[in-house]
Amino acid sequence: MSHNTFGHLFRVTTWGESHGPALGCVVDGCPPGIRFTLAEIQAELDRRRPGQSRFVTQRREPDQVKVLSGVVPDEADAEILITTGTPVSMMIENVDQRSKDYGEIARQYRPGHADYTYDIKYGIRDYRGGGRSSARETAARVAAGALARKVVPGMVVRGALVAMGTKEIDRANWNWDFIESADNPFFTPDPASVAVFTDYLDEVRKAGSSVGALIEIVAEGVPAGLGAPVYAKLDQDIASGLMSINAVKGVEIGDGFATARMTGEQNADEMRIGNDGKPLFLDNHAGGILGGISTGQPVVARFAVKPTSSILTPRRSVDVDGKDVDVRTKGRHDPCVGIRAVPIGEAMVACAIADHYLRHRGQTGRIA
């Protein structure tokens, strides 16, 4: 990964700040002949868009994506775009840039934010809206991920919020279909959890506080053989992608941290020849990856999102002049940034798998 690029053969470069005219991405290396519609990309963007419930920031951004290059319309149906194999540039214009006085924010280091580290690193900082650390950057990832989903035939990547602060879902109630329900502002797979999360988050929001969350991503239909044994492990590149999301502090694959407490007997995924004569795994502690290479089982990853540091409660900090200050973050902020991390996590997993699909095909030629 370069500073603003990820992937090797399916390469995504993102650019843009939340308070400039636009942001976007360039997807390079996309196979030719991939067919998609603008509506499909837009649908993914709409899933992470702010302003859709009282639990996410009220910034009003239509987040309309434009495809600027790398496609030709299908001759029979101009709605359908076909990739040509050249770079696909996508752009989202920023609309809701409320003019405001950045006086304090420009000079104070918000605790838990990157303000201080930016200044140390670059000696200059775009304090308007958090610069590159703005959650708006993730819109570009989601657009790229929408394309990545099309690269691996038959792959389905879905995500769910499985815990918020101290509240967890009940896995017995898991229902993938419920996640996209209109009554579900949380991407939770457990219908019973909606009321619990609603009450909990209302409380957090009213207190001007924030909470963390735990997200789970499952990729089904991933062919066996993707990844590599050492420094191009599929799990490693998924972990790298998820850790690159704002506010993520931990990543695990399959049973993850729980395996540290297990014995070899508990952790082994036993195999048998199935009725179709093909090898069958009897369990999936490994999360679909063994020795860095996909097994053909579902790929399972989880990541922890810290509570946003933008809270109303004053926190002790310092300013650029070397003076002590107390910082209280006003304005539009998500009480749980983890919610909108669900589609972002899906996008990063989809991109990592698409990249390895092409890399595997390149090295071995053992896949169509």
Q: Which residue ranges are tagged as binding site for NADP(+)?
A: 48, 54
Residue 265's H or E segment, with its range, is helix 264-267
- Unique residue bearing structure tokens 């909606």: 194
Residue 325, both tokens = 């200050």
Of 97, 128, 349, 99, residue with least CA distance to 242? 349
CB of residue 182 vs its own copies: minimum separation in angstroms? 26
Q: Which of residues 189-248 bind its own copies (CB under 8 A)?
A: 204, 209-214, 224-233, 235-237, 239-240, 243-244, 246
Positions at the binding site? 48, 54, 132-134, 246-247, 291, 306-310, 332
Q: Which of residues 148-177 bind its own copies (CB under 8 A)?
A: 163, 165-166
Q: Which is nearer to its own copies, 131 or 343 (CB)?
A: 131
Q: Which is nearer to its own copies, 181 or 199 (CB)?
A: 199
Q: Does the protein bind its own copies through residue 103 (CB under 8 A)?
A: no
Q: Which is nearer to its own copies, 184 or 310 (CB)?
A: 310
How many other CB atoms are found less than 10 A from the CB of residue 134? 19
Of 226, 216, 223, 295, residue with least CA distance to 256? 216
Q: Which of residues 13-42 bind its own copies (CB under 8 A)?
A: 13-17, 20-24, 26, 28-29, 31-33
Q: Which of residues 49-68 bind its own copies (CB under 8 A)?
A: 66, 68
Of 159, 178, 286, 283, residue with least CA distance to 234? 286
Q: Which is nearer to its own copies, 86 or 173 (CB)?
A: 86
Length of the chain: 368
Q: Does the protein bind its own copies through residue 365 (CB under 8 A)?
A: yes
| Residue 175 CA: distances (Å) to CA of 74, 179, 180, 190, 233 | 36, 7, 10, 6, 30
Torsions phi, psi for 286 (to 5 deg): -75, -10
Select from 3-11, 41-49, 51-59, 188-196 the region that touches its own copies (CB under 8 A).
3-11
Q: Does the protein bind its own copies through residue 362 (CB under 8 A)?
A: yes
